[in-house]
């Protein structure tokens, strides 16, 4: 359905189903690479015992193994020195069986995360945060790696047949993880690109004036349910990257998960919309696996 006409209620974009399809494609690529003696390998390094990070890392390792890849997790104590972490990264950079390296955030306060990111070889930086890969994304070079969440958003748009060519996109949020790389991806030529992009942020005046004119709204500002239906143009596509815990006494755990978009009101005017959870979230790991397989293919070329 075109975002030029509003339906009675928006069609939900099923991120779980699309992520499963991407992971199935990855498994086929892994099987093909194995016939050439290449087993893609992803190594995740986690420092400390942050519960959310531990859960996420376990999910990454499980997804890697399910795709037929080599999935490894290296766990370091919270008091490990930065020098020791950098020495580990150097060893992984030199290990030909490791094609993707990811150092899980957040890092302990005594570490400089920017220095850690720069230590990873750009050819193995499947998170897409190394300055070399950031530069390649901006210039449109195809052998770099885009950050996984923005790449997942673009994949959702493409797989749902959302036309992006010439469309006005408003991204709410300017982080290095989502907002900025999302803008760069959507400006590129080709499928899922060719957009006219506006990036809004905390200092933007009259945010609603921007979002109401957009064909596609991508919310990634980290404030739950701050984008409401009256801020959406009828027929627009709404992509919600945010996820927060919101107090809810009626829920068994005392909270519920909410995105940056007020789903109920936005769904009444949008043509397509991602739910939270089950929208953008599952795509992040899927695109991480996709980046790792491409890193392995490029290393073996």
Q: Which residues are catalytic, by number?
A: 60, 104, 127
Which residue is it, tokens 């339906």?
A: 7
Kind plus residue range of the DSSP H or E element containing 291: helix 281-300
Cα(first)–Cα(last) distance of the chain, in Å?
40
**Cα-to-chain-centroid distance, residue 257:** 18
Kind plus residue range of the DSSP H or E element containing 181: helix 179-187
For 68, the token pair is 């037929």
For 133, the token pair is 């890969």
Q: Whole-angstrom Cα distance, residue 279 to residue 152?
A: 10
Q: Whole-angstrom Cα distance, residue 59 to residue 62?
A: 5
Q: Whole-angstrom Cα distance, residue 2 to residue 187?
A: 20
The DSSP-derived string for 164-175 is -TT-EEEEE---
In 46-147, alpha helices (H): 51-66, 82-94, 113-119, 131-139
């Amino acid at each position: 359905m075109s975002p030029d006409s509003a339906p009675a209620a928006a069609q939900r974009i099923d991120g779980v189903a699309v992520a499963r399809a991407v992971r199935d494609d990855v498994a086929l690529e892994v099987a093909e690479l194995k016939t050439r003696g290449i087993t893609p390998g992803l190594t995740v390094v986690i420092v400390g015992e942050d519960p959310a990070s531990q859960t996420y890392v376990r999910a990454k390792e499980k997804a890697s193994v399910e795709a037929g890849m080599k999935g490894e997790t290296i766990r370091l104590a919270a008091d490990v020195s930065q020098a020791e972490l950098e020495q580990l990264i150097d060893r992984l950079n030199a290990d030909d069986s490791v094609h993707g390296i990811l150092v899980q955030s957040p890092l302990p306060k005594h570490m400089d995360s920017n220095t850690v990111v720069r230590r990873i070889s750009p050819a193995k930086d499947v998170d897409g945060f190394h300055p070399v890969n950031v530069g390649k994304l901006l210039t449109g070079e195809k052998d770099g790696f885009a950050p996984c969440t923005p790449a997942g958003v673009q994949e959702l748009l493409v797989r749902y047949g959302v036309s992006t060519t010439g469309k006005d996109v408003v991204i709410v949020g300017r982080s290095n993880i989502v907002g900025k790389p999302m803008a760069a991806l959507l400006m590129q030529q080709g499928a899922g690109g060719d957009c006219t992009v506006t990036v809004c942020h905390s200092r933007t005046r009259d945010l609603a004036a921007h979002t109401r004119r957009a064909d596609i709204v991508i919310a990634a500002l980290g404030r739950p349910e701050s984008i409401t239906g009256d801020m959406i143009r009828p027929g627009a596509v709404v992509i919600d990257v945010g996820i927060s815990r919101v107090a809810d006494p009626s829920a068994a755990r005392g909270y519920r998960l909410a995105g940056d978009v007020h789903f109920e009101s936005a769904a009444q005017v949008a043509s397509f919309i991602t739910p939270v959870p089950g929208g953008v979230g599952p795509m992040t790991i899927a695109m991480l696996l996709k980046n790792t397989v491409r890193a392995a293919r490029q290393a073996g070329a």
